[in-house]
Amino acid sequence: MTPTGPIVVLGSANMDLVTRQPRLPAPGETIAGTGFATGAGGKGLNQAVAARRAGAEVTFAGAVGDDGFGRELRAFLEAEGIATAHLRTSAQPTGIAQVSVLADGENGIVIVAGANGEDELTDGDRAAIAGASALVVQLERPLALVERALSAARAAGVRTVLTPAPVDGAAARLLPLVDVLVPNEPEALGLSGAADVEGAARHLSERVGTVIVTRGPRGALVAREGGILATVEAVAVDAVDTTGAGDTFVGVLVARLVEGAVLDDAVRAATAAAAIAVTRPGAAPAMPYRAEIEAALARRVGTGGATRSTRS
């Protein structure tokens, strides 16, 4: 039976402080930027927004400060229709991310955890997780907190999804608690110790249920039980800002999976959504709505997009 509870996203909520600039400065160098903006971000918040805009019911579990940024982030989540009963107000300041968006659309990010460093998992959080259709976590919250949340989900029979970012070798201990692992290429290599991405995907898929390695303009690689199941091609677009593309992918992927979509279809939808997101500036504000994703998928009918690989 398909679970009917909301997706619970336990993760970070940051205020993004975004500069647009031609390149990263050298040490000691000052360069001129071309723009500045603030916006809602954090990997957890981003994934929650992506899942909600894709049509899922979503509960966000996190922490923000008792400050202007915290109040703005709470209001943003509520305006998106995301439940915030498990978004606590901390004595620590709201987390921030300083995002440098370069001329080619690539980005560099520095995060300051602030309230995201809180590591309490309350009885109420555990109850929300136990009633979820899926638990989605990342590594911008303390590792011990993420481990407790995954353990609670596993005990309740709830599907677990981990984005291992920022990559941390100690996170390998989480893998037995993970049903779906979604790293990008550097994260897959760092977590597995493998020399190449396919090898990393195979290795990691021997320790978790399913591994989906996101590869930016090269799409995604899907592995299970030590074998490569499929590659899914990316949608060719002119990228404006790649911030949040991976989070868009994860949120849409999980939204589709809890609806009962088969894995290939869920990955194709996630890939299409990420392609839309990178054509717009910002992270959460750039994420597409379900109708946009459906339109993008309709345009791909008859063009393929998934290449089956023989398991080896």
Beta bridge partners of 112: 96
Alpha-carbon separation of residue 127 from 49, 60, 153, 292 (angstroms): 22, 13, 10, 34
Q: Is 46 annotated as a binding residue?
A: yes
DSSP assignment of 175-201, as one string? GGG-SEE--BHHHHHHHH--SSHHHHH
Q: Which amino acid, one-letter code, is at 93? A: P
CA dihedral 148, 151, 156, 158 (to 10 degrees): 100
Q: Is 35 annotated as a binding residue?
A: no
Q: Is 3 annotated as a binding residue?
A: no
Q: Is 123 annotated as a binding residue?
A: no
Q: Is 43 annotated as a binding residue?
A: yes
Contact indicator for 61, 42 with CB cutoff of 8 Å = no
The DSSP secondary-structure symbol of 284 reads: G
Q: Is 282 annotated as a binding residue?
A: yes
Cα 267 from Cα 250, distance rounded (Å)? 9
Is residue 21 packed enough to be buried (19+ CB in 10 Å), middle (13-18) or exposed (0-12)? middle
Closest CA to 83 of 53, 117, 48, 55: 48
Q: Is 116 annotated as a binding residue?
A: no
Q: Is 193 annotated as a binding residue?
A: no
Contact indicator for 223, 23 with CB cutoff of 8 Å = no
Q: Is 228 helix (H, G, I), strand (E, B) or coil?
A: strand
Catalytic residue among 67, 119, 123, 247: 247
Q: Which amino acid, one-letter code, is at 3? A: P
Q: Is 164 annotated as a binding residue?
A: no
Q: Is 260 annotated as a binding residue?
A: no
Q: Is 287 annotated as a binding residue?
A: no
DSSP-derived pairing of the beta strands 210-214 and 220-224: antiparallel
Q: Is 108 annotated as a binding residue?
A: no
Residue 238 annotated in active site: no
The DSSP secondary-structure symbol of 47 reads: H
Q: Is 44 annotated as a binding residue?
A: yes
Q: Is 148 annotated as a binding residue?
A: no
Both ends of the chain: CA-CA distance in Å?
A: 32
Q: Is 264 annotated as a binding residue?
A: no
Q: Is 165 annotated as a binding residue?
A: no
Binding-site entries for K(+) = 241, 243, 277, 280, 282
Binding-site entries for substrate = 14-16, 42-46, 140, 247
Binding-site entries = 14-16, 42-46, 140, 184, 214-219, 241, 243, 246-247, 277, 280, 282
Binding-site entries for ATP = 184, 214-219, 246-247
Catalytic residues: 247
